[in-house]
Every structure is written in structure tokens, then in C-alpha cells.
């Protein structure tokens, strides 16, 4: 099974979990895009809130009923992909994620926080034992870049300003902010790292989604496996 086939399989499974009348948060990224297309194909009577301009526009183009958090401040479920999924056991059991590779981490975290449940959809390559192999995105106010970047470096997080794929300069989020991708390596204490980053004035949000997901659907050679927090 290719990675694309796994993404489609898990997106389809997630779409099957949505019922008529559900208020759904739509994620952002390649797997979330497949989920949105699969969900639209079901022709359900649902209301949606998107976590990015791209997902909002896609859902509208597919005939879905898309609103804003001002109109739908409480969601039944948020369904989105992740760059890394860590299924922790023992005393720290739960689902921890790194998100933001697609640049929508702020809106993703806001929409996820408004939902009663948060289902992660991913292929098996995203499953890790410890977070940190994928660079941790940190969204930063543009004015604050000269302040935030050296402070992240002082924490040993190795920040690097994300550039636009078009080559037109720094990448800008939907909110007009910069993203610093931190090649921090193995994150053994994600709660500590999260607190250190949030303590820097000028940081808007980071890509550590700790204890927010209620279930992960992970597709691999054996089909789709469910992990619950």
C-alpha cells in the first residue's frame, strides 16, 4: 500500500464516522483534503467550520455548508491530519501530536479546542514513539521575529524561518504571521517545551497538540487501526 492509498483509506473511514446533523470541524493538509472530498461525496446534512482558507474554499466548492466559529462556536467533532502522532502508554497515556507542516497550526488548534472530540487521521509513517523528528512549527508575529528567533535558539530548538514555496520570501500564515520550523530533535518532555515556547512574547502558537486528540485513525498495510486517548 502506498502512502497516498493509506491516506485515502483513512480519510474514507473518518468520513464514514460522520452522521447527519453533525457539526464538523474541517482540518487542513493532504489527508484532511481527502477527508473533505470523501465527506462531501456522502451528501450529508451537516454544518462545517474550516481551519484554513484553503479548506474553507474547497468545502464550499464541493457544495458543503461552511460557516465560521462566530456562527458555530461549538463543534461535535474536528477531523484533521498530523505530521507526527505519538501514542503514549503508562502514566502519560494519551495521544500527542505535532501539527503545522501545512502552516495552519493556529487555526487548527482553535477549531480543535471548540470540538467535543478530535479525530486524527494519518498514515502509518506519521506514527512515532517520541515526538520531534518532524520540525516543530512555531507561529510568530512578524514584528517579533528578531526577538523570538534567538530565544528559541537559546532553548536549543534550532529555529529556521519558513520560506514560501514560490520563492517570494518568508511564508505567511492565513493570519499574516511567520513560521519558525524548529529542528529540535527528540522531545522527551513536550509539556516543558510547550511551556517554554509559549512563555516567549511574540509567539502566537506552537505545533505541539498535547492531550487534545480523542482518537487517532492510522492506516497501514493491515488497514485502519484505532488508537484512543
Active site residues: 108
Task: Tell me the three cell numbers of residue 194.
Answer: 510547550
Strands across the sheet with 84-88, in order? 127-128, 84-88, 94-98, 208-210
CB environment 57-88: b (16+ within 10 A), e (fewer):
ebbeeeebebeeeeebeebbbbbbbbbbbbbb
Q: Looking up cell 498514515, which residue turns up?
A: 123
Could you tell me which residues come within 8 angstroms of residue 173 by beta carbon, excluding any fewer than 6 positions away?
103, 104, 106, 139, 179
Amino acid at each position: 500500500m502506498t502512502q497516498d492509498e493509506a491516506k485515502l483509506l483513512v480519510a474514507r473511514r473518518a468520513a464514514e464516522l460522520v452522521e447527519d446533523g453533525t457539526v464538523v470541524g474541517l482540518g487542513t493538509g493532504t489527508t484532511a483534503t481527502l477527508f473533505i472530498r470523501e465527506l462531501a461525496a456522502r451528501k450529508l446534512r451537516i454544518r462545517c467550520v474550516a481551519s484554513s482558507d484553503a479548506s474553507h474554499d474547497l468545502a464550499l466548492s464541493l457544495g458543503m455548508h461552511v460557516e465560521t466559529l462566530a456562527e458555530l462556536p461549538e463543534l461535535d467533532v474536528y477531523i484533521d491530519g498530523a505530521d507526527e502522532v505519538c501514542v503514549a502508554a503508562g502514566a502519560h497515556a494519551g495521544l500527542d501530536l505535532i501539527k503545522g507542516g501545512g502552516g495552519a497550526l493556529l487555526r487548527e488548534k482553535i477549531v480543535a479546542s471548540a470540538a467535543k472530540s478530535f479525530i486524527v487521521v494519518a498514515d502509518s509513517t506519521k506514527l512515532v514513539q517520541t515526538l520531534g523528528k518532524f520540525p516543530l512549527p512555531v507561529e510568530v508575529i512578524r514584528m517579533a521575529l528578531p526577538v523570538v528567533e534567538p530565544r528559541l535558539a537559546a532553548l536549543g530548538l534550532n529555529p529556521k524561518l519558513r520560506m514560501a514555496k514560490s520563492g517570494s520570501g518568508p511564508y505567511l500564515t492565513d493570519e499574516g504571521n511567520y513560521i519558525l520550523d524548529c529542528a529540535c530533535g527528540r522531545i522527551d518532555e513536550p509539556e516543558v517545551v510547550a511551556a517554554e515556547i509559549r512563555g516567549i512574547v511574540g509567539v502566537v502558537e506552537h505545533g505541539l497538540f498535547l492531550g487534545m486528540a480523542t482518537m487517532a485513525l492510522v492506516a497501514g498495510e493491515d488497514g485502519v487501526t484505532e488508537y484512543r486517548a
